[in-house]
Amino acid sequence: MTFIELIKQPWPWYVAGPIIGLMVPALLIFGNKTFGISSSLRHVCAACLPAKIPFFQYDWKKEIWNLFFVFGIFLGGIITALYFKNDAAVVVDPKLMSELSGYGIVDFSGLVPADIFSWASLATPRGFILMVVGGFLVGFGTRYAGGCTSGHAIMGLSNLQLPSLIATISFMAGGFIMANLILPFILSL
């Protein structure tokens, strides 16, 4: 197996996790920046539509590094698609697979299920709720919590911040409630 073939395979957690963890010291040492992504959404609001809302009255240009970082993530996606794409179907837990087939989710060819996240699906109640309401909750919730998986779960926990532990437990609790108790109803719509 060549090196390129090797990196095209899905990476195990013990390779990916430590690299993600290294983002913390990299940003601190190279620019005294704390790792956190969801604030980029706030900067977009402050830049595009501040609308005299106090929360968006600040000099977003001082935080422009964050938008460069986010644009880099987007470029990383393009680069992976062009050069490191894994063409095999995504391996999904058999129990999850059979549960999802019951809701008509049968396309396991991509990392994002095409049966739910597509333009056609957006016009269905299920797709609309998952994409429009779900996206709204991600933006609203992360800013209300003051951070997301990167800012609280990784950066905050690395710095042993109790508020970040509380936030991370809340993220997980919300996810467990949604995935196990509410999502089955949404998926069966």
Partner 1 sequence: MIINKKDTNTDFEVRSLDAIGKNQEAVELPMWHNLKYLAFGVAFGIVLIKSEVISWFRIQEMFRLQSFHMFGVIGSAVAVGALSVFLIKKLKIKSIHGEEIILPEKTFNKGQIYGGLLFGFGWAMTGACPGPMFAQLGYGAIATSVIILMAIVGTWVYGLIREKLPA
Residues 51-80 that bind partner 1 (CB under 8 A): 51, 53-56, 58-59, 62-66, 68-80
Q: Report 144-163 residues binding partner 1 (CB under 8 A).
A: 144-163
Residues in the interface with partner 1 (CB under 8 A) total 137
Query: Position of tokens 């992360």?
Result: 142
Interacting residue with partner 1 among 5, 88, 186, 188 (CB under 8 A): 186
Cβ 105 to partner 1 shortest distance, Å: 9
Interacting residue with partner 1 among 98, 169, 185, 189 (CB under 8 A): 169
Q: Is residue 119 within 8 Å of 131, Cβ to Cβ?
A: no
Of 32, 39, 35, the closest CA to residue 56 belongs to 39
* Sign of torsion over alpha carbons 161, 138, 174, 106: negative
* Residue 149 burial (C-beta neighbours within 10 Å; 0-12, 13-18, 19+): middle
The answer to the question of residue 5 lying near partner 1 (CB under 8 A) is no
Cβ 12 to partner 1 shortest distance, Å: 8
- The 112-131 contact track toward partner 1, x by CB under 8 A, reads xx--xxxx-xx------xxx
Interacting residue with partner 1 among 3, 4, 32, 125 (CB under 8 A): 32
Phi, psi of 114, deg, nearest 5? -65, -20
Of 45, 72, 74, the closest CA to residue 58 belongs to 45
The answer to the question of residue 189 lying near partner 1 (CB under 8 A) is no
